């Protein structure tokens, strides 16, 4: 039984890696130039057409995925899966992947079960802790 609890963080990490890698690779746009010429007309900030694809929606439209994303930061902070300064970066990457996959008609049908699996793995990593409460000190810590 104890062995299952040791495997839970590994399963969660594996699920997160798979979810993060599930999106199609995208080309990164070139960084903006450090300076502009004085005669250039202003250019609106838009997402490049081409490999980056269409603009991403605010939500996936899949309840399991939208719920998972809504609780992602608080639950990962409570589970202490990553250092606090890395959680937002992981969230941004996960959100982008799920939003992009929600637009792909070949991937979208599987997203509900994928997000349910991710949420289950996260719940297991929480070991019964709440996402809304700060993580409690281990039993006996600070007791005389």
In this structure, what DSSP letter does residue 33 have? Answer: P
Domain that holds residue 70: 59-134
Confidence at residue 118, expressed as pLDDT on a 0 to 100 scale: 94
In a domain, 41, yes or no: no
In a domain, 7, yes or no: no
Nearest by Cα to 114 from 6, 3, 15: 15
Q: How many CB atoms lie within 10 A of CB 131?
A: 16
Domain total for the chain?
Answer: 1
In a domain, 99, yes or no: yes
Q: Give the global pTM.
A: 0.56
CB contact at 8 A, 125 and 110? no
In a domain, 144, yes or no: no
- For the stretch 75-121, pLDDT in tens is 999 988 889 999 999 999 999 999 999 999 999 999 999 999 999 99
Q: How many CB atoms lie within 10 A of CB 102?
A: 20
In a domain, 128, yes or no: yes
In a domain, 28, yes or no: no
Between the alpha carbon of residue 2 and those of residues 5, 6, 65, 131, the distances in Å are 5, 7, 30, 23
In a domain, 29, yes or no: no
């Amino acid at each position: 039984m104890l062995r299952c609890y040791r495997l839970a963080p590994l399963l969660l990490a594996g699920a997160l890696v798979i979810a993060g890698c599930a999106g199609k690779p995208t080309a990164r746009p070139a960084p903006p130039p450090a300076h502009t010429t004085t005669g250039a007309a202003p250019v609106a900030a838009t997402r490049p057409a081409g490999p980056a694809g269409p603009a991403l929606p605010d939500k996936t439209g899949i309840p399991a995925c939208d719920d998972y994303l809504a609780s992602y930061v608080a639950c990962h902070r409570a589970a202490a899966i990553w250092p606090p300064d890395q959680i937002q970066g992981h969230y941004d990457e996960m959100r982008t992947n799920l939003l992009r996959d929600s637009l792909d008609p070949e991937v979208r049908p599987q997203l509900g079960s994928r997000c349910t699996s991710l949420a289950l793995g996260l719940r297991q990593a929480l070991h019964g802790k709440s996402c809304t409460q700060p993580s409690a000190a281990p039993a006996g810590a600070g007791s005389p």
